[in-house]
Amino acid sequence: MAGYRNRPEETSAVIIDNALRTGDLGHVDGDGYLHITGRAKEMLIVGGDNVFPREIENVLLAHPAVAEAAVIGAPDGLRGEVPVAFVILKPDATANDSDLRAHCRAHLAGFKVPRSITIAADLPRSPTGKILTRALPK
């Protein structure tokens, strides 16, 4: 909470009814275990529909050529945002934007299919190795 010290507006935005609202999204399963599935700030709104980047990333990761994937929203004049993806291929694997988008179309609703998929050699990372989606070009 050190980042909220002497910042009453920011503090009141995250502490509601004496509970800290972290922005994490998740669910409690039938056995009472909590599963964190994403962050509210990462959610895309595509033509009024909520789209979770993790869902698209999981579909891309299911493709045999994909080693890593990251999805962000890009501005769109008609839909507000559209998903765009960045992937790293597995060593010696081959795939292109069309192959990967066809794979997504087979497993996702049309509005969730990335408008473009960039195949990259590397992705920006934090010191702990997490992909920095905010550093990806929109």
Quote the pTM value.
0.75
Provide the pLDDT for residue 30.
Answer: 94
Domains of the chain: 8-38 (no CATH), 41-135 (3.30.300.30)
4-21 tens-digit pLDDT: 888 888 888 888 888 877
How far apart CA 117 and CA 70 sit, in angstroms, is 10
What parts of the chain have a pLDDT lower than 70? 23, 25, 37-41, 138
Provide the pLDDT for residue 26.
Answer: 75
Residue from 92, 93, 136 nearest 116 by CA = 136
Provide the pLDDT for residue 37.
Answer: 67
Provide the pLDDT for residue 39.
Answer: 64
The pair of three-digit structure tokens given for residue 11, joined into one six-digit string? 């503090």
Provide the pLDDT for residue 38.
Answer: 62
